[in-house]
Structure 1
Amino acid sequence: MRDLERRYRRLLRAYPAGYRRARNAEIVGTYLDLAGSARRWPSLLDAADVLAGGARERLRAAGAADAIPGLHLAAILSFITATAVAAFWAAAEVVTVSGLWGSPAFGPFATTGIIVWSGWLLTAVVHAFGPATWARIATGLALALTALVAPVAALFDLPRPYLIVLLPQTALGLLALAVPAHTTRRLRLIPLAVKPAAALLAVGALSGGSGWFYRYSNGAAILPEAGAVLLLTAMLAATVLSLRGDARGVWALLVLLTPIGLLALYPLTENIAPAVGAGHSDFRVMTGTAIGVVLMGAIPPAAALAIRARTTATASIPAASGDSRCPNCGR
């Protein structure tokens, strides 16, 4: 067995066992034909495709197939929010006075965050006008920039955005990877439409601010408001769709609880710090709060999936007859 075939078979463990038994050879053969003879490792796109397919089949097996369109809706809302937040911070990088009173600066910008925010703004353009594959690649690159800016800035002693800014952007970006390929042009243009409004908001809120600390202390207060808008939008979508007998809005709301909670990380850490005896929201408080938000946000969708799976399993068991005696011997 070739190394590439063995690695594809390992990836296919993401699928339910019954599905693998029925279609394992077919799926592996298709990927091997597309990969060619020279490749030794699955490509990132192939690995992501296999894992996504496995997740879809496991949801279908659990009787939660309607969670898939719910995830797609959550991904669209996440991408719109990520673009708006990026536009806000990109404008703030420019309008805030940098280098004042010894505050750090990154050339004409406040921090290295300008690289991250530019990546997300470019991704919105690719998403609106480019093929779906390009949009997914651009989203992955923007997400990588978001994750790498902190360690790279620390390595070269450069100013960077605070973690309370980067963590929610990372969560929104991870969900944005699930934006469906066949999204209507109207939805793909929405992120472009929200960018000017978010940038103008930053200009009005932060213009003339006295340096780096001002930008993050006051700008971070915008994130809970963005989370509130996202929460209200998801609740409205869940209500309207539920009235039509469509559960995808409820699933989208459940999935979005984690990024919404991370958008509120700034006030949460400010209130938790005194309770745990910390003088301010330090790294320890922020890390603990973020972990708590992620864990608490994962509970509702996990519980909903467990309930749906149990309901499906119960419904698939034939109802027991009132007479349990053997029809042949009568015992």
Structure 2
Amino acid sequence: MNDLERRYLRLIGVFYPAGYRDERGAEIVDTYLALSSPDRRWPSVADVTDVAAGGLRRRLRAVGATEIGAGVRLAATLALVTTTALAGGWAALELNPWTTAWFGFEQHGTSVSPGVAVWAAWLLAAVVHVVAPGRWTRPAIGLALALTVAVVPLAAVVDRSRPPLFVLLAQACLGLVALGVPGRMPLWLRLLPLTGAAAALPAAATAARHAGGATRGYYGWPAGQVLPAAGVALLLVTLLAGVVMAARNDLRGTWALLVLLCPIGTLWLHPLAEVLAVGLYGGGSNADRTTFAAAVIVVTVAPAIIVSAALIVHRRVTVGHVTAGRGSKR
């Protein structure tokens, strides 16, 4: 057994359920090995994504929630629209010139940080989604995700400012969901992320131009207001889609809402951390690392509990319907 085969087996072991892994694991690995070049030593990013997606589908089938895949695709589309719209706004904020007073003198400049590369990568993903959907969209989103994470140590190495962690975390969480975006979509749907980004660019630039010099950074305005507003908008759109679809006995919107609970929560990290700060330290306290960490735990654990409960209920209802159907046939 060579290194590549061993690494594929580890991937299968991580993502696939035990029963299916024992039955079909070797066959799946052989398929990937047959499609790999002889000199490859590590699974490609596309293969890792494919294994993760296949394992998730198998686990969902095991709990009787196969239709959640359609909900994930809807959630991914909404998440990609949100990420690219935010990226357009943050890019405009980074590139917008500022003017501020310092000891009676006006100073001019720009506050470009390494974060501008992150936002450019997300905008590139929106373009790729339009011109080369499917095969190239996920790698483009993966590149943007990698830059979103890498900008933290990169900014420390070059000793430059960067977007705050709560902004990057919200972008990364939405981006993870966006990886599930379907490849086959009508052109008007593929244009939505790029349209959202294009609309955000002038809006953010106009708002920044009318703001004072002290509020040009991410903290306070605009991140403290834009991210929660984006969370509310994403929640309302998903709820509306869920209600419309549920009226036609279509649960895609419901599953999409469950998938987006964590990303929506990360968009509310800053105000949630401030609420926790008030509860822990009393009125007037600002959010710190402790309250931000507590907020991250809340927006991660609470959606996980809700989704798990929904899957359990769905499985029991499905089993009940199957049992009742068998009883009626008798």
Q: TM-score normalized by structure 1?
A: 0.88
Provide the residue aligned with 1:238 in structure 2.
Answer: 242
Show the counterpart of 1:171: 173
CA contact (8 A) 1:95 1:208 kept: no
After superposition, residues 49-64 of structure 1 pair within 5 angstroms as 49-64=50-65
The code of the aligned residue for 2:8 comes to Y
1:74, 1:92 → 2: CA distance? Answer: 27
Structure-1 separation of matches of 2:149 and 2:3:
31
Distance in 1 between residues matched to 2:296 and 2:69, nearest whole Å? 26
Gaps of 5+ in 1: 322-331
TM-superposed CA distance for 1:207, in Å, is: 0.9
Partner residue of 1:198? 200
Structure 2 distance, partners of 1:319, 1:66, is 20
Q: Match for residue 327 of structure 1?
A: none
Decide which of 209, 213, 224 is 2:228's aligned counterpart: 224
Give the aligned length: 318
Measure, in 1, the Cα distance between the counterparts of 2:23 and 2:186.
34
Corresponding residue to 2:274 among 263, 270, 274: 270
Q: Give the match for residue 153 of structure 1.
A: 155
Q: Give the structure 1 partner of residue 42 of structure 2.
A: 41
State the alpha-carbon separation in 1 of the partners of residues 99 and 137 from structure 2: 33
Q: Would the aligned equivalents of 1:96 and 1:212 in 2 still touch at CA under 8 Å?
A: no
Equivalent residue letter for 2:166: I
Deviation at 1:38, TM superposition (A): 2.3
Distance in 2 between residues matched to 1:141 and 1:67, nearest whole Å: 26
Q: Which has the larger radius of gyration?
A: 1
> In the alignment, what sits opposite 2:183?
181
Question: Given that residues 98 and 110 in structure 1 are in contact (C-alpha distance below 8 angstroms), is that contact kept between their aligned partners in structure 2?
Answer: no
Normalised by the length of structure 2, the TM-score is 0.88
Aligned-pair Cα RMSD in Å:
2.5
Secondary structure of the residue aligned to 2:77 is helix
What is the CA-CA distance between 1:234 and the residue it aligns to?
Answer: 0.2
Q: Is the contact between residue 4 and residue 41 of structure 1 (CA under 8 Å) also seen in structure 2?
A: yes
Shift of 1:34: 0.3
How far the C-alpha of 1:99 sits from its partner, in A, is 8.3
Give runs of aligned pairs for residues 10-21 of structure 1, distance below 5 A: 10-13=10-13, 14-21=15-22
Aligned residues of 2:96 and 2:208 also touching (Cα < 8 A) = yes
Deviations 1:237-259 (A, max 9, x none): 10011111111110000111111
Aligned to 1:85: 86
Determine what percentage of the aligned residue pairs are the same residue. 47
Contact conserved, 1:123 with 1:135, CA < 8 A, in 2?
A: yes
Structure 2 gap ranges (5+): 104-108
Residue 293 of structure 2 aligns with which residue?
287
CA distance in 1, matches of 2:130, 2:34: 31
